[in-house]
Structure 1
Amino acid sequence: MLDDFMWRATLAGLFVALAAAPLGCFVVWRRMAYFGDATAHAAILGVALALVFNLSMFAGVLMVALTMASCVTLLSGRGYAMDTLLGVMAHSALAIGLVAVSFISGVRIDLSAYLFGDILAVGKDDLWVIGGGTLMVLTLLGWRWSALLTATLSDELAHASGIQPRREQLVLTLSLAVVVAVALKVVGVLLIAALLIIPAATARPFCRTPEMMALVAAGIAALAVTSGLKAAYLFDTPTGPTIVTLAAGFFLLSTIAMQGVRYLR
């Protein structure tokens, strides 16, 4: 029934929005946008491995996303600029994944569903996985929120407070990998980073505290998901790109509003 798949799509989108928005705040604060993009690009390689070894898609993507994030963390500061390292690893993983998928025989794969998402095809099992991943991310962020904020402000301040910055980086890495794994079905590899960054960037000018920014970003992401689903249904457009387009529209409106406020002052 129409209502069934639309309700599943809406719930899946809201789950991803609730997980991605608070995490996206840390991505914005730490200027990790390219890090998130690199982890998302590696997801296609995870899809290929899941199909080859008959694993669940979530497990394959999570494994590769964690490996990518861990490799970047280990190799950073060893003779390569971070943006160079991320660029090489992101595009290499995406290319290797696409090539690997082409060699899989006997399986018909709709690559566009993985690149741009296929939220309307979310099933009950997918919904449980997405909900579980969202709960994991929110639990991690809630547990380490204060420590993450301190480590984000300054490594020296973190050390003085008895906090290990690399441990907090690991928490963010794990959370980012889980979000990539659960968001693949909703917005796809090429749009995951946008759903992480855009709501947080939209909320930032209007919030005075980190907690408020996380809540406002979650609200903006949820509004983009619900509005995007409705617009995609009405205008017969790709759902994932439509959601991100509306999020980008909210960012544009917030930018115009802030410029207007500054002009009036």
Structure 2
Amino acid sequence: MFDDFLIRAMLASVGVALAAAPLGCFVVWRRMAYFGDATAHAAVLGVALSLTLSTPIFAGVLVVSLLMAMTVSGLSGRGFAMDTLLGVMAHSSLAIGLVAVSFLSGIRIDLMSYLFGDILAVGPTDVWLIWGGAALVLSLIAYRWSGLLLSTLNPDLALASGFNPKREQFILTLSLAIVVAVAIKVVGVLLIAAMLIVPAATARPLSRTPEIMAVMAALIAVCASLIGLRSSYVFDTPTGATIVCVCTCLFMVTNIAAKLFVQGRERIASLKENSGESRAEKKSVRSLPKRF
């Protein structure tokens, strides 16, 4: 089965979708979109360090992404505005990583594959790493679901319920670093944030509970990955970018359909209300005494 590159690409894209989409719900709820983007940009620096030290790319990206996320979490609230801090850390880490890669001698590296992904070059080992990381992330989310959700909605309520918001923040940060490490080969550094945010934002109008939103986001991400992979193969387009484009199209269709549904329901309700008032008026007219 792993001899076919399309099968490997399909398995890799599904694994990344299953890991990124539920985690993206927490990113959307906490309004941490730029936080995920900054963590993803730091992955380029992890690639450079891995190549320099001759260590696995996955390990280097995971360590640097985790350090980046923990640094931002530690510096927030200490005289730094969060958006300014994230902007400085994101772009500086990306620039430092690109400069560090340019100094590597005797090592051939395709930066485009790390910036935009190269899913068709995924090997059997990469597939196992992606699914192992996805299983770990999903296990962490399922095991700490109540704590993560309460810490997201109300940290004081989470603390009163016996959950430590800082610990839950660390678990979320660790999960985000794992997703960045496993997704860099599929969608690349510049598109990881889109796989975190867009499926969750697409599932939001279709969901009434957080659990349903997480499940719907995962299903939408899987469908977008498969459709994007097939479209990339047919139209000969970049696979990672095509997957994100499909996610964007689903987002637009879902939100437009949700708005039309709400408008239609409000119109039906107003028509029923008007018809009810007209019936009441007719009934009151009929009850008036007739004069001859």
Q: Taking structure 2 as the reference length, what is the TM-score of the superposition?
A: 0.89
Separation (CA, whole Å) in 2 of partners of 1:68 and 1:113: 22
**What does residue 58 of structure 2 align with?**
58
**What does residue 177 of structure 1 align with?**
177
Separation (CA, whole Å) in 2 of partners of 1:108 and 1:114: 13
Q: What is the CA deviation profile of residues 24-49 of structure 1, one whole-angstrom value per residue up to 9, with x for unaligned ones?
A: 00000010100000000000000000
Deviation, structure 1 residue 17:
0.4
**What does residue 263 of structure 1 align with?**
263
**What does residue 109 of structure 1 align with?**
109
Q: What is the CA deviation profile of residues 210-249 of structure 1, one whole-angstrom value per residue up to 9, with x for unaligned ones?
A: 1110110000000110000000000000000000000000
Separation (CA, whole Å) in 1 of partners of 2:35 and 2:57: 22
Matched, 1:26 2:23: no
Deviation, structure 1 residue 180:
0.1
Give the 5 Å matches for 1:30-109: 30-109=30-109
Give the 5 Å matches for 1:198-213: 198-213=198-213
**What does residue 12 of structure 1 align with?**
12
Question: Partner letter of residue 177 of structure 1?
Answer: A
Separation (CA, whole Å) in 1 of partners of 2:241 and 2:140: 28
Separation (CA, whole Å) in 1 of partners of 2:153 and 2:96: 36
Contact 2:27 2:36 in 1 (8 A): yes
| SS class of match (2:31) | coil
Q: What is the CA deviation profile of residues 45-100 of structure 1, one whole-angstrom value per residue up to 9, with x for unaligned ones?
A: 00000000001000000010000001001100000100100000000000000000
Deviation, structure 1 residue 2:
10
Separation (CA, whole Å) in 1 of partners of 2:3 and 2:260: 41
Deviation, structure 1 residue 159:
1.1
**What does residue 139 of structure 1 align with?**
139
| SS class of match (1:78) | coil
Give the 5 Å matches for 1:141-220: 141-220=141-220
Separation (CA, whole Å) in 1 of partners of 2:137 and 2:262: 36
Contact 2:2 2:8 in 1 (8 A): no
Identity %: 66
Instruction: Count residues in correspondence.
Output: 265
Question: Partner letter of residue 126 of structure 1?
Answer: D
Deviation, structure 1 residue 262:
2.3
Separation (CA, whole Å) in 1 of partners of 2:27 and 2:149: 12
Unpaired segments of 5 or more residues in structure 2? 267-292
Matched, 1:239 2:242: no
Q: What is the CA deviation profile of residues 95-129 of structure 1, one whole-angstrom value per residue up to 9, with x for unaligned ones?
A: 00000000000111111100000000000011111
Question: Partner letter of residue 179 of structure 1?
Answer: V
Deviation, structure 1 residue 22:
0.5
What's the Cα RMSD here? 1.1
Give the 5 Å matches for 1:119-138: 119-138=119-138
Separation (CA, whole Å) in 1 of partners of 2:204 and 2:188: 25
Separation (CA, whole Å) in 2 of partners of 1:158 and 1:226: 38
Unpaired segments of 5 or more residues in structure 1? none
The structure having more radius of gyration, on CA atoms, is: 2
**What does residue 250 of structure 2 align with?**
250
Q: Taking structure 1 as the reference length, what is the TM-score of the superposition?
A: 0.98
Contact 2:2 2:124 in 1 (8 A): no
Question: Partner letter of residue 261 of structure 1?
Answer: F
**What does residue 225 of structure 1 align with?**
225
Deviation, structure 1 residue 3:
7.0
